[in-house]
Structure 1
């Protein structure tokens, strides 16, 4: 029964992810993250769909979703940048986070009338920030380079700080003693140990995989399995030794960043597959996270039971968020940001599912305290997303994107160059028709009726072309692709189109060529 429920929960969330991501394609002005969040709210508010979702399990969530996600984000971060900004990271993800927890906790205790341990718990839970959620609140605009990099580095490392402070608050809540010395030692062991342990295990695994890569024993499927299991294994081992699993997987990802830079051509197919898996995994996990956040928020709101203190949680949530905003602004000024950039840094401290996961992970609170913490953190999460969504688009410059109409025209002219090349060749009518269809298919404008005709032909005829015609088809496609690349090269020389757009189209042509030439990228015919 439990297994069936796990399957139904996973299936329902995956369906919600797929549908919300499709909807996001039709509402380009709304960040996909918000679409995911709204879909999660809908799933959580509808009794039938909500009943298919299991109760939240913090350990599974952190191990199966957050650990791989942070591992991928760590791998997309250059080690050199972390080394250069290590002191700034320590100040931001360490010192600032601790200072904010103390100040916010004290304010909640004094102004809000909340006992000190519970106030510290609330403050600690609001420490972790979410780099993924940050992308959804900028309105598609560009963050200042220094601010953006610091926000992303902070989000990689401050989860562990918040977790350690939370553990100190829980210990204080249950025992009545803060035990500063003990908590300081625990922090150093957790953060420092996690950093060294994650890097060490990742280094050993990297050496093993690279040795396999250079031997006759190399097999892509085994390599991929080892790679995908790495963050989960490292997280579980680190947590079992009372180290920070989060920092361990981040440091492991940083080690793998250097590996990817210098081994991408050893086995190109395998490397390309790994990159695609990282991109696909990151996209799915990010969407998964915000669908879950929406479901959890819906359950918190619908599960709230009114009490004489109704509204107390609302203004405490406002207090926690406001003080955090002010503290982040002051820190931005302290690290030599200009006033405007300091404000952007403050607004960029967006909270997401990790914050809520920490709130849901506490099992020692009384029912009333637990409900208060959940409601306060819900307010903090919502404010941290709504406020920058309103303000940041007015403070940030718009990205200089190439207009969609211009991109469409460029792609059409590229394909036209390939079609023109066909007129210079001597082809049989059948080959010419087939190649013309394939080239026009690059425009993504072929009619469904035309596709069905091609599908019927390829499905019912065992071999469409054999002998000379098969060779004709392959050579015709290669020469057409050459013409398309030449068009893009000449366009690049004019400096009228951003290089990124030209590289994107160029890479599409190279991938299409690999489908024609490389047996490993072809389906059986």
Structure 2
């Protein structure tokens, strides 16, 4: 019963934090508000809300990473794969080495292997934190896609480094070839398991749908189970469960594009996954806040582990580590950009230098989150000889401080850094959208004409079918295409927008009338639900 109560309290905290953000006159970052609410919840209740890393990874990360993999733009990921890999692998290794040495230099009482473990836990950017921060800042689309791709892929490299840092602490030995082979195994096995599982399930579901029909509820439930199945299968086979969940999401999205899924399944599935994403994202940050009281209770002990009596030294260390992470990230991005510009110059291509503010944006956007905290909490309690794991409490406290500070700096600094920034021109998608609409409309018109011909065969009322087909094809013929600057097209689009607003006004009035009839007892609930659903679908089409 206590676990049920804790779950309900966490969900209530997510709802409360959302109301606080919307009611506040000051633009507050939602993740930080959720952390504060979680801290207040932990202080105000006697419930022990402990974050078990294994349970946390299993319950929260697979569905969220699956959804990120599902929704990430695949073409952008393919186009910028080289840049993403340099950030997801090269930057992680660079950060672990640089920050490990810096932390050990700042805190000599922390063993070098433990310093490397702390640096490894803090090296991955958190995809959930990046998405939450980006919601408040006008980050260029291409840069945002690169950051999302980096956050999805750098967990494996960061956790591999963490695993070997812990092993080095426990055994006093480290093998670079073994670490490289382990990284390859985790990556390849995780991606393969997720992709194969998603392909197999897609094939089975498609066969079942053809034989017995598609049940939207069952199909959505299967999609909710896929990330957990991929994660557990990959972990059982000693692969990366995180990458398995991401790969499963990307492949399931591809399977859906092959067709066959009912529209009702897609509509309901989108609503279900949006709810899961909102709840899980919020609970993660509330749980982070709920860890603060227990972590802060060991401040004095952590200060002693750092070789100081005053706790304020820990704050200085947190600031120094956060600054060091941002500086190393800035340096790596700058060097990568120099390399790209040099290659472009050799090929005599013209590349625009994005400027220091965009480089600073890339550095600040590397926010840390729940992945870092869950990773550092996997530090063992004791060494093989039974003695306590050195500087464990200190590493956890510093990791929590860096997470909070990086979120605060990104949430507050990014909007100000990007304010008034002249961004590089974004690729124009209007022409691409017009071409896609034109192709889709031509296909629809051909299909309607063919269906009209087939239905009218052998019937005497062919004019009725022709009239119906003409009315059905009318919206496709009236679609505005072309250059948005063209006066005719601009006027046509303006007319479409006016018609959309008029339809929305009519739909709202129709729904209100149905509710009034139900309150007066003039229609049954079943009739009300069916008709309101029709109106809701029409409204969703016009507002989507």
TM-score interval, smaller chain: 0.7 to 0.9
Shift of 1:510: 4.7
Equivalent residue number for residue 398 of structure 2 = 376
User: Contact 2:504–2:539 (CA<8 Å) still a contact in 1?
Assistant: no
Quick check: 1:40–1:292 contact (8 Å CA) kept in 2? yes
Q: Structure 1 residues 135 and 232 mapped into 2: Cα distance closer, same or farther (>3 Å)?
A: closer
Matched residue pairs, number?
Answer: 438
Instruction: Pick from 283, 305, 315 the counterpart of residue 300 of structure 2.
Output: 305
The 8 Å contact of residues 344 and 392 in structure 1, kept in 2 or not, is answered as yes
Could you tell me whether the CA contact under 8 Å between 2:167 and 2:173 is conserved in 1? yes
- 1:22 CA displacement: 2.9
Q: Name the structure 1 match of 2:425.
A: none
SS at match of 1:243: coil
Distance 1:440 1:331, change over 3 A: farther
Task: Report what 2:410 is aligned to.
Answer: 388
Residue in 2 that maps onto 1:37: 35
Q: How far has the Cα of 1:462 moved from its partner?
A: 6.6
SS at match of 1:178: coil
How many Å apart are 1:199 and its aligned residue? 1.2
Does the Cα contact within 8 Å between 1:130 and 1:350 map onto a contact in 2?
yes
Whole-angstrom CA distance in 1 between matches of 2:526 and 2:197: 52
Q: CA deviation at 1:226?
A: 1.7
TM-score calculated relative to the size of structure 1 = 0.76
Cα distance in structure 2, aligned partners of 1:244 and 1:465: 48
Contact kept? 1:44, 1:299, Cα under 8 Å: no
Match of 2:146 in 1: 150
User: Given that residues 138 and 393 in structure 1 are in contact (C-alpha distance below 8 angstroms), is that contact kept between their aligned partners in structure 2?
Assistant: no
Work out whether residues 31 and 285 of structure 2, in 8 Å CA contact, stay in contact via their aligned partners in 1.
yes
- Equivalent residue, structure 2, for 1:314: 315
Residue 225 (1) aligns with residue 242 (2): no
Q: How does 1:419-438 map to 2 (within 5 A)?
A: 438=511
Asked whether the equivalents of residues 136 and 411 of structure 2 are also in contact (C-alpha less than 8 Å), the reply is no
Distance 2:325 2:276 in 1: 32
Sort the Cα spacing of 1:184 and 1:23 in 2 relative to 1 into closer, same or farther, 3 A: same
The residue correspondences of 1:489-500 to structure 2 (distance < 5 A) are none
Q: Which residue of 2 aligns with 1:215?
A: 211
1:340 aligns with 2:354: no
Q: Which residue of 2 aligns with 1:493?
A: none
Contact 1:31 1:139 in 2 (8 A): no
1:350 maps onto 2:367 in alignment: yes
For structure 2, which runs of at least 5 residues remain unmatched after alignment?
Answer: 338-353, 383-387, 422-497
Q: Distance in 2 between matches of 1:465 and 1:354?
A: 46
Deviation of 1:40 (Å): 0.7
SS state at 2:174 partner: coil
1:455, 1:90 → 2: CA distance? Answer: 58
**CA drift at 1:97:** 0.6
In structure 2, the CA distance between the partners of 1:334 and 1:82, relative to structure 1 (3 Å rule), is same
**Displacement of 1:259:** 2.5
Q: Tell me the distance in 2 between the aligned counterparts of 1:232 and 1:174.
A: 31
> Using the alignment, how far apart are the partners of 1:225 and 1:509 within structure 2?
23
Aligned mate of 1:277, from 262, 266, 272: 272
TM score, norm. by length of structure 2: 0.73
Q: How does 1:141-290 map to 2 (within 5 A)?
A: 141-263=137-259, 266-290=261-285
Give the deviation of 1:193 after TM superposition. 1.6
Within 5 A, what are the aligned runs for 1:9-28? 9-27=6-24
Shift of 1:477: 12
Tell me if the contact between 2:38 and 2:287 (Cα under 8 Å) persists in the aligned partners.
yes
- Do the aligned residues in 2 keep the contact of 1:139 with 1:389 (CA within 8 Å)? no
- C-alpha distance in 2, partners of 1:506/1:222? 21
In 2, the alpha carbon distance for the partners of 1:112 and 1:247 equals 34
1: distance between equivalents of 2:254 and 2:146? Answer: 20
Q: CA deviation at 1:304?
A: 3.2
Q: Answer whether contact 1:140 1:398 (CA < 8 A) is retained.
A: no
**Aligned partners of 1:412 and 1:77: how far apart in 2?**
29
Paired with 1:477 and 1:64, the residues of 2 have a C-alpha distance of 32
SS of 2:366's equivalent? coil
What SS does the aligned partner of 2:211 have?
coil
For the 8 Å contact 1:174–1:364, the answer to whether it is kept is: no
Moved more, 29-38 or 304-313: 304-313
Aligned pair 1:134/2:125, yes or no?
Answer: no
CA separation in 2, counterparts of 1:477 and 1:205?
30
How far did residue 69 of structure 1 move?
0.7
Shift in alpha-carbon separation, 1:511–1:417, aligned structure 2, 3 A: closer
Contact 2:131 2:148 in 1 (8 A): no
Superposed CA offset, 1:391-416 (max 9, x none): 212222479xxxxxxxxxx8997379
Answer whether contact 2:376 2:395 (CA < 8 A) is retained.
Answer: yes
Q: Are 1:93 and 1:158, in contact at CA under 8 Å, matched by a contact in 2? A: yes
| Greater Cα offset, 329-338 or 171-180 | 329-338
Q: Quick check: 1:295 aligned with 2:290?
A: yes
Tell me if 1:60 matches 2:55: yes
Post-superposition offset of 1:91: 0.8
Describe the shift of the 1:398–1:302 C-alpha distance in structure 2 as closer, same or farther (beyond 3 A): farther
Instruction: Tell me the distance in 2 between the aligned counterparts of 1:205 and 1:134.
Output: 30
Q: Deviations over 1:353-386 (max 9, x none)?
A: 1111111122245366121011111121122112
Residues 457, 411 of structure 1: CA spacing in aligned structure 2 closer, same or farther, 3 A cutoff?
farther
Counterparts of 2:65 and 2:336 in 1: how far apart (Å)? 25
Structure-2 residue corresponding to 1:329: 330
